[in-house]
Each structure stands twice: as C-alpha cells, then as structure tokens.
Amino acid sequence: MWWALHDVRLSELLGHLRRARPELFIAAILAVTATFPLRTVRWRYLLRLEGVTLPFRPLWHATAIGFMANNLLPARAGEFARAYAARALTGVRFSTAFASIVVERILDGMTLVALFAVAVIASDFPADSAIQGVSVERLALFGGVAFGGLFVAALAVVRWPSLILGLARRLLRALMPARWAERVSDVLEGMVQGLGALRTPGSIVVVGFWSLVLWLVNGASFWFALRAFGMGTDWSTALVVQGVIAFGVAVPSSPGYWGVFEAATRVSLGLYGIAASDAVSLAISYHVAGMLPITLLGLYSLGRAGLTLRTLQHAPGDDDAPRPPASAADNP
C-alpha cells in the first residue's frame, strides 16, 4: 500500500474521485457483484457427485462466506472457509469441496490468460511493455504454460485415478507412519472425487463456458469503472487490467488484498501511460465499493449457517466437520 501511494498527493486523488461518473461506477459494482452468483452456478457443475447436483442456496451461502472471509482474513483463508462452509451446509467432504475450488482456480487462470492474450493481440498494446522488468508477452506465456500444465495433470488424475492413488499410497507409507498415511490417502480420495467435473468432455465444456461468462462479466465491470474515471473505453484495456490484477491478488497476502490490489491496478494502468494518482483513485474506490456487497452478503450467510469467523479460522477436517443444519440448507 505504501508503494502504491507514496508519490500520490491526496488532493489529486480526491479530485479525481469527485469527477468520476456515478452511474457508470454503480454499473461497475453491480457487474462485479454479479460474478459471485455466477461462481455458484459454475460450482454446482464442478461439485456434481455421481450425477447428483447440489442445491443452489447452500452453495451460494458457502460462496458468499468464502469471499467474505477472503476480505476479512489473511492469506486467502476464504478458500478453506468456503470448502468448510460447503461441508457444513451440504455434507460434501471438505477435501472434495476444496478440490473443486482448486479446479475452479485452474479454470480461472486459463480463462484469464486466454482473455489477456486476445486483448493484447487485438489491440495496439505496446510490444515492449514489461512488468517489474519482465515482458508482458513472457508473463502471459508463462501463465498459459503453468495453468495448462495443471489442467493436464488434473485430467490425468481423473483418467487414471486408481493408478495415481495407488502410487500416492505407496509413497505416503514409505514417508510417514501408517496412521498418517491412511489419513492423507483418505483426503486424496476426496480430492479425486472433487475432480469429477473433468471426467467427460461435456462437463468440461459447460464449466469452461461458465468460466468465460464469469470473467467477461468481471471484465465488463472494469470497463465501466475505466469509463467512469475517464480512462478510455477500449474493451481490451479492461481485460489487460483484469488479468494483471487477478494474478496479482492470487498470491496469499493481506486481508482483502489491500495494497496488492492497488499496486496491481497502478502497474496495469501504467502500461497505458495513466498517471499514478488517477490509477490509485480508481483502485481504492473500486476496491472499497466492490468488496462491501459480498462482505455483507457473506456475513449474512455466515449467520444463516450458524458459523462464526473464529470457526472458519480453525475449520476442522472431514472427520470433525458438522453435518448440514436443516435451516441453513433449506431456507434462503
């Protein structure tokens, strides 16, 4: 946060905020808030267990709780909180729910890299642009290879689950006591179950489609925000900014990604020659307004589920997680 603000004058920041167009800014916040129900829709396809689709409401509550926890707890603890909330509300295994979230993140990364590449190719993006001394093209290539490799690895696990689980069990028994090896093996079995959405080409197409819709809507929110602050209307700019910010906040850091979000926004808009004060004014206002709705919705869902932030911080594993309370699972 210090790096993002150290050379920005408060008067410039406030002046830019006052000149922003409120109707476009509201559209930006509505669009980014709409991505969370879209995540729930996609998560239902990722968490289909033996052909059975879990109900929307408890998964929505778990989604809201997870992203609320990311805003209030450090180190992206919301990913674990979300899986634990799904366990508490639906009875699905914690490891299965968490594995589905891992697949979700891989799909997010692949979609973001693809949209980033399209935006760079289809625009007059400066070919020599670099972030921290590394060319943007090289960063995009690295991201594509990394997430593509993870996706192929997940497909391999789905294709040969017995073989890979057998190898994992033998390795675990060689490295740790039998009791711990058996426990870790049970967790791995649950994680393999969470990769079920990748078993058929049709399922992959469906979750890929919802990933594309989700990130196009999120990109639209950045497009509205850029227009609100008078920073151009090029859709490719919004997708590039979205990609840099999304990969920046993916690294475990502060609660709500404070500082990281502002720095990533400043870096991405700096590629287009936008002044630091303008970039930071957009970043802070968008960050505050964007995190408020899902945080409030998550706190409401937390109460509906009968959970607390302390419970989420010390979430137990599969053996200790509570069964789903009927009121939380069945009521809105």
Q: pLDDT tens-digit profile of 106-117? A: 899 999 989 998
Q: Which of 71, 100, 68 is nearest to 83 (CA)?
A: 100
Q: pLDDT tens-digit profile of 46-79? A: 887 656 788 999 999 999 999 999 999 888 889 9
**247-274: average pLDDT:** 90
Identify which has the larger pLDDT, 101 or 312.
101
Task: Report the pLDDT value the prediction gives residue 322, as an integer from 0 to 100.
Answer: 42
Q: How far apart are CA 23 and CA 3, in angstroms?
A: 30
Look at residue 171 and tell me whether its pLDDT is greater than 80. Answer: yes
- Other CB atoms within a 10 A radius of the CB of residue 21 amount to 13
Q: pLDDT tens-digit profile of 206-252? A: 999 999 999 999 999 999 999 999 987 789 999 999 999 998 888 88
Look at residue 253 and tell me whether its pLDDT is greater than 90. Answer: no
Look at residue 184 and tell me whether its pLDDT is greater than 50. Answer: yes
Look at residue 275 and tell me whether its pLDDT is greater than 70. Answer: yes
* Confidence category of residue 128, pLDDT binned at 50, 70, 90: low
Identify which has the larger pLDDT, 226 or 273.
226
37-46, 98-107, 184-193: range with highest mean pLDDT: 37-46
Task: Report the pLDDT value the prediction gives residue 320, as an integer from 0 to 100.
Answer: 43
Task: Report the pLDDT value the prediction gives residue 251, as an integer from 0 to 100.
Answer: 82
Task: Report the pLDDT value the prediction gives residue 310, as an integer from 0 to 100.
Answer: 76
Give the tokens for residue 89.
């509300």
Task: Report the pLDDT value the prediction gives residue 313, as an integer from 0 to 100.
Answer: 66
Name the residue type at position 330. Answer: D
CA angle 322, 254, 195 (to 5 degrees): 45
pTM for the structure as a whole: 0.85
Percentage above 70 pLDDT, the chain: 90
Look at residue 151 and tell me whether its pLDDT is greater than 70. Answer: yes
Percentage above 90 pLDDT, the chain: 41
**258-264: average pLDDT:** 93
Task: Report the pLDDT value the prediction gives residue 325, as an integer from 0 to 100.
Answer: 40
Three-state DSSP string of the chain: CHHHHCCCCHHHHHHHHHHCCHHHHHHHHHHHHHHHHHHHHHHHHHCCECCECCCHHHHHHHHHHHHHHHHHCCCCCHHHHHHHHHHHHHCCCHHHHHHHHHHHHHHHHHHHHHHHHHHHHHCCCCCCCEECCEEHHHHHHHHHHHHHHHHHHHHHHHHCHHHHHHHHHHHHHHHCCHHHHHHHHHHHHHHHHCCHHHCCHHHHHHHHHHHHHHHHHHHHHHHHHHHHCCCCCCHHHHHHHHHHHHHHHCCCCCHHHCCHHHHHHHHHHHCCCCCHHHHHHHHHHHHHHHHHHHHHHHHHHHHHHCCCHHHHHCCCCCCCCCCCCHHHHHCC
Identify which has the larger pLDDT, 316 or 326.
316
Distances (CA, A) of 52 to 45, 46, 47, 55, 269: 10, 11, 9, 10, 44
* Of the listed ranges 128-142, 160-174, 272-286, the one predicted with least confidence: 128-142
Task: Report the pLDDT value the prediction gives residue 245, as an integer from 0 to 100.
Answer: 93
Identify which has the larger pLDDT, 122 or 98.
98
**282-306: average pLDDT:** 94
* Confidence category of residue 315, pLDDT binned at 50, 70, 90: low
Average model confidence (pLDDT) for the chain?
Answer: 85
